Structure 1
């Protein structure tokens, strides 16, 4: 006990020392696991337990060391001034625009407010006259309370909002009157979690809603409370403990539910995903209250939505890996009857789930479909028979989304590129005109001196990998470059505007984004080529992109940084352990690094369909081969690295970053620094407040500028 006390005291003293030059010492524990007869060492198992006071003290000492290093880097104050100037510029932007009950709803972002807030207005021509319905900044001045999502009632008089705190994404639903902006009726707890997500759809009479219900205390063991999501119905004005069960007792433990109501008839559509791997089942509740399953996991029907008439449109990948659209006739029949409307094309039909902007929207006489073009995306239009019609005007090399039906087959949608902020357009179906609305954003900085090019690298097996390159006009030779990647869960990396990127570009730093396998940019085959036992392809793709940028004279290994987060954090870990000489530094956010223990974390089960499980030998062997934590080699010089994590992250357990940090620091104590930055009041990052995002950007930029040898210049 005395020895352990002295060890802990030495960490605290070292962390507070003004002469700190090396990271705090980290003890090892002799832990060995056996998988399929193969013994695997895990020397930092003890860092998994956040309830252990020793682990918290270790984390505090790492934060102190990280602050010592970061605060001592050159030009931090000047960098903070510039980043703050850009990110807190008082320019308004809108997202998640809805048109319900004759009025518009939108999430409004207005720096320097910490969090976006919910507003309503009557016309696309006058959003400035909006009324605030819910402002989390008024609830919590620290910026740690946020909206997960919102859903207006069919008449627009009420709105249900999922509200969570501290980055937890554990959301309770409250109902607000849209006339008075007052909270009315009762709170419904635990509709949303950071593991399974959550959803809600109002009944046509506006008196209740269908919602995703998670187990409550006492209903299941503690480890299961964020699983076993089911569908319930809540009648306003009643105790939610008495809510009516609708569907889901036979759903898998890792079910994720999305629900939609056809207002004219009252029919209900329930889309269920089996974890995060992209397999779905679909169920419909008829007007008599009976539920019918019209697809099952493995059927390759991946998305469904109601048409105004009450029939169902669906996206299927059955004999069409890039997707085709069918109309379902009588879904109550034992054998599904379908009519093909839009056949598979060269480009991929985008799917959406869990409050993503809808990618398939049907109006009275039109079908709007979002297509993925290998990174960029676009909206295409068809009549009800699947005949192509004139599509809206859209920006080049851009991404689209947020399709919201208005009246007369019109829609509103957003469009942005790497150098154009979010623009909202009104597409008038009758005339074919595309008009920019007043919801459109302005950039706080000028991107006219940045050009975007699209190149292709050749991966190890010959696959062509797109790279989108943002380069300042002033740069015409090899120089500092940041390469970003993700490659997983069939997620498309589309052109995305970031004003904060200007703080890199104006210093002569090139920014590149690679579209890797594992994403969905070229359909399901592209996704499957980068998941489960094929995951190594993703890392090979990223390496090929980096080598291309070096070989083509965009950068050098001494001027290359790589950056990613979450599944992209795994990409960072695998790339640096497989090719430590490739890059100068690494920035990794909320990443996964111990692939053999990830499935034991609260959200880990949801990841099994994407990564696999150690219970299957072939999947274990694949994960063991690339697992970053298990492939760190003693004595290797690794690049300077900073790991960001949030203590309340519900999606990737922060222990992943702790263990990887300790392992790297131990393997090469004389290498460039390995830093761990843990934020106490944040989670996976999506709902992080503005001030925290600014400080993360300051630390990232200072780190990059220093290790890439960029002399900061006042713009």
Structure 2
């Protein structure tokens, strides 16, 4: 995040607060620092005497006790930290005003892309400030009705809908719910017409899809419930089950996984659209999978291996009779589509269908066509192909930005997709697949004038000479005077690509006169598998160097300066922020690490963390890997006597993906060792998880806190409008 300090910004704030521009002033850093420190007295955090030894090196872990999420002492620490944090946040004079502006921006009807199941067309809708999206449906041209309202799942809105799947004829629905933000799910089965629940919920489901076989039952995935805390204990063996309707979950058939010889931490099973094949993907980590198929048209048909190693990311996208269409990066770092017959599906028999290009491919199907979406410097370009592999046309998009997957059922005549970028709210388009014509189906109702803003792609050079793209979004006519509050947001990992998308929260930041910058760091997938690998294991420092170079570019080109620069990222991006703020504390005014992986020596001992080793490696792999991880692990690199940026760590008590102990330990280290006057606080959301399904009300409160903390610590004593 960024400092807001120009008079233009102050004047904008004054319009919101009722002050004149002359009354709104910016405090200098010394004045602000003194004021902030006077307000903060941190809770005492007990230091233990735990010491681990890695390859003969002793490493102290004084806050190990904070890993116990079920202890009364940890609970008391959380309560004490939140008390200090919220007292500080509540003292910021414009926090409530900012919250009200966020509510106002958020308060418009949002409708998702329609999809057809049986006799009904379904769509997700939020009337503005509902905590959870509601599933609506319409039969033909009749009146729309509520089908499923997750806001009724719990009184406080913290139980969310995560997956909805219909049987082949659309007569039965199965949906998964998350309680308090946890990754553990329950699956509920109901009659789609009467909405009557048909059986007892399935429980202890995690990291799972719901894939129906006809109308008789469905496949789902889960782990055995771990010993100890279900929110932090290790989960290591993922399994695929088949649930037949009407039978108790205890009788569900184990289909795949659980082998002592070959551990798979992630297993997924899905049925092809024609109900012909069950496709099973297994993975030891977040990258690479083996692949199997079973012909469901034959009684007791065996599992047939397509791939028996974990050297590629490969999946079946469609089939025509026994002809399979697969998307793969095997021998093709930017991905391609191949075909093969199910009777002999090994890679030796693959035939290129849509060959690899210099740009990264994502493929989908619908209405009897393939759609190949390419990332060209992280921006979408889409081509349509027929089932003979002939290119039909390019799909014309409104401009530079991101198109969602164009997909649907084979018999659909019209397909729907959305288009967005950092300054353009998402618009839904209807595509006549045969004619190739797109028409606007639904415009966004957001109260945001995109024409007042510009979003520009730049390229900068990282420490080793690598060319890295970055999108910079701000108001038109921005004065490059080095005083613009700026949020630099990044991720850089797990082959995940950051493509342009609109955010209501970021719209509020842009309205305030802020700059929002997003670089496409190594470790992501924007330039294929090689770009991903360049930010993994012993090359992870490349990611941090790319992010630091992005900050330096913004400063050198006068978009901002260190006094007005905030860094933000979540999960792996939280690690990114933790690493760069400990490596270059001088470069940033504010640091905003969210749900971050902060203890790189122990991350693999919690929940499914061991599956992240493809990107990170582990401290047990080798002495070299241990030393490398220890060299950047945020928890282990907070040094006494250093002035760190104003820091607001955010996490949640039900985060069972990146357990909150990471953030607890990092915040404790910062509070113990911070030499400068800037505050180091931790905000711990309750009844919330890693992010998915977070109620709208909680999201608004969190962004109001993040933005007000950022602006206040950039010297703003009243709020830009």
Determine if the TM-score, normalized by the shorter chain, exceeds 0.5.
yes
2:5 aligned partner: none
Q: Equivalent of 1:306, from 294, 318, 321?
A: 318
Verify: 1:170 aligned to 2:184, yes or no. Answer: yes
Q: Which moved more, 1:472-481 or 1:569-578?
A: 472-481
2:262 matches 1:268: no
Superposed CA offset, 1:246-289 (max 9, x none): 2224385443233221353532112223231x101111111223
Question: 1:242 maps to which residue?
Answer: 251
- Say if 2:231 and 2:656, in contact at 8 Å, map to a contact too: no
Gaps of 5+ in 2: 1-36
* Matched residue, 2:444: 441
The CA distance in 1 between the partners of 2:562 and 2:609, in whole Å, is: 34
Runs of 4+ in 1 over 6 A off after TM superposition: 220-225
1:346 lines up with 2:358 in the alignment: yes
Do the aligned partners of residues 311 and 107 (structure 1) sit closer, same or farther apart at CA in structure 2, a change above 3 Å counting? farther
One of 586, 589, 609 as aligned partner of 1:584 = 589
Moved more, 546-555 or 43-52: 43-52
CA contact (8 A) 2:157 2:695 kept: yes
Answer yes or no: is the 8 Å Cα contact 2:428–2:441 preserved in 1: yes
Q: What is the match of residue 53 of structure 2?
A: 34
Mapping of residues 20-59 of structure 1, within 5 Å: 21-59=40-78
In structure 2, the residue matched to 1:66 is 85
Which residue in the other structure is 2:702 paired with?
Answer: 696
Structure 1 match to 2:31: none
Post-superposition Cα deviations, 1:338-381, rounded to whole Å, max 9, x if no partner, equal 1111111111013xxxxxxxx432653x2112222232223321
The equivalent of 2:133 in structure 1 is: 116
Query: Counterpart of 1:199?
Result: 209
Q: Does 1:139 align with 2:145?
A: no
User: Paired residue for 1:9?
Assistant: none
Contact 2:105 2:446 (8 Å CA) reproduced: no
Pairwise CA distance, 1:184:
2.1
- Alignment of 1:487 with 2:501, yes or no, is no
Structure 1 residue 408 displacement after superposition: 5.7
* Distance apart, 1:301 and its partner CA: 4.5
State whether residues 650 and 683 of structure 2, in contact with CA within 8 Å, keep that contact through their aligned partners in structure 1.
Answer: yes
Residue of 449, 452, 469 corresponding to 2:472 = 469
CA distance in 2, matches of 1:272, 1:378: 30
Instruction: Name which of 166, 174, 183 aligns with 1:160.
Output: 174
Q: Quote the Cα distance in structure 1 between the aligned partners of 2:422 and 2:101.
A: 20
- DSSP 3-state at the match of 1:150: strand
* 1:684 partner SS: coil
Q: How many angstroms does 1:55 deviate by?
A: 1.9
Q: CA deviation at 1:666?
A: 1.0
| 8 A Cα contact 1:507 1:712, kept in partner | no
Shift of 1:641: 0.2
In structure 1, the residue corresponding to 2:198 is in which secondary structure? strand
Q: 1:86 to 1:637 in 2, by over 3 A?
A: same
| Counterparts of 1:82 and 1:326, CA distance in 2 | 50
Shift of 1:134: 1.5
- How far 1:242 moved relative to its partner? 1.3
- Quote the residue 1:426 is aligned against: 430
- Pairing of 1:312-351 with structure 2 (within 5 A): 312-332=324-344, 336-350=348-362
**CA shift digits 1:211-231 (9 cap, x unpaired):** 22432589x999878442222
Partner of 1:548: 553
Alignment partner of 2:123 out of 103, 106, 110 = 106
3-state DSSP class of the match of 2:618? coil
The residue correspondences of 1:367-378 to structure 2 (distance < 5 A) are: 367-378=370-381
5+ unaligned residues in a row in structure 1: which ranges?
1-17, 351-358
Give the stretch that moved more between structures: 389-398 or 569-578.
389-398
Alpha-carbon distance in structure 1 between the residues aligned to 2:347 and 2:315:
18
Greater RCO (Cα-Cα under 8 Å, separation 6 or more): 2
Name which of structure 1's ranges 164-173 and 704-713 shifts more when overlaid on structure 2.
704-713
Question: Does structure 1 retain, via aligned residues, the 8 Å contact 2:220–2:242?
Answer: yes
- Asked if structure 1 preserves the Cα contact closer than 8 Å seen for 2:307 and 2:347, the reply is no
Task: Tell me the distance in 2 between the aligned counterparts of 1:224 and 1:708.
Answer: 39
| Separation (CA, whole Å) in 2 of partners of 1:246 and 1:706 | 55
Shift of the alpha carbon at 1:410?
4.3
Distance 1:419 1:181 in 2: 40
2: CA distance, partners of 1:333 / 1:703 = 56
Q: How far did residue 645 of structure 1 move?
A: 0.5
Asked whether the 8 Å contact 1:271–1:304 carries over to 2, the reply is no
Deviation of the 1:25 alpha carbon: 2.2
Corresponding residue for residue 637 of structure 1: 643
Which stretch shifts more, 556-565 or 387-396? 387-396
- Shift in Å at residue 57 of structure 1? 1.2
Deviates more, 1:380-389 or 1:454-463: 380-389
Q: CA RMSD in A?
A: 2.4
> Does the aligned pair in 2 maintain the 1:395–1:416 contact within 8 Å?
no
1:294-352 C-alpha deviation (Å, 9 max, x unpaired): 112334242222224452211222322111110122344666411111111111013xx
1:499 partnered with 2:511: no
Instruction: Supply the distance in 2 between the matched residues of 1:256 and 1:415 (Cα, whole angstroms).
Output: 31
* Distance in 2 of aligned mates of 1:657 and 1:377: 35
1:680 to 674, 681, 686: 686
For residue 90 of structure 1, what is the aligned residue in structure 2? 108
